[in-house]
Structure 1
Amino acid sequence: MDVDLIFKIAAVGIVVAVLHQILVRSGREEQAMMTTLAGLIVVLMMIVYEIKDLFDVIKNVFGLW
């Protein structure tokens, strides 16, 4: 795993947190929740690709399939 992935996840988290605070303070709680949910989905998709790569490496190391 690269350090770049950790920085990307942190950047998404910071941007989502700032947007969430701005939207909550302007009275748009629903859009703040949707922004948070969208950020979570983006991060989960980034992690899913890394987990897929991990399983591919494990398959190659142990000679599965």
Structure 2
Amino acid sequence: MDVNLLFKIAAVGILVTVIGQVLKHSGREEHAFLVSLAGLIIVLFWIVPYIYDLFDKIKHLFSL
């Protein structure tokens, strides 16, 4: 796993938190929820290939 991926995830987390707080304080809690959901989906798209590789390596290790 690359260290840049961790920095990208942290940047998305900080950005989503700031935008979410601004939206909550302005009374748009639905939009804040959608921003949080979008951030989660973006991070999941980055993480899923690594999870797939992990399960593939475990499967290969135990020869399943």
TM-score (norm 2): 0.81
Cross-structure match for 2:21: 21
CA offset at residue 53 of structure 1? 3.3
Query: 2:51 maps to which residue?
Result: 51
The alpha-carbon deviation at position 12 of structure 1 amounts to 0.4
5+ residue gaps, structure 1, are: none
Secondary structure of the corresponding residue to residue 53 of structure 1: helix
With normalisation by structure 1, the TM-score equals 0.80
Number of residue pairs aligned between Structure 1 and Structure 2 = 64
Give the share of equivalent positions with the same residue, in percent: 61
- Please state how far the C-alpha of 1:55 moved relative to its aligned partner: 4.1
Name the aligned partner's letter for residue 43 of structure 1. Answer: V
**1:50 deviation in Å?**
1.7
**Runs of 4+ more than 6 Å apart:** none
- Which secondary structure state, in structure 2, belongs to the residue aligned with residue 27 of structure 1? coil
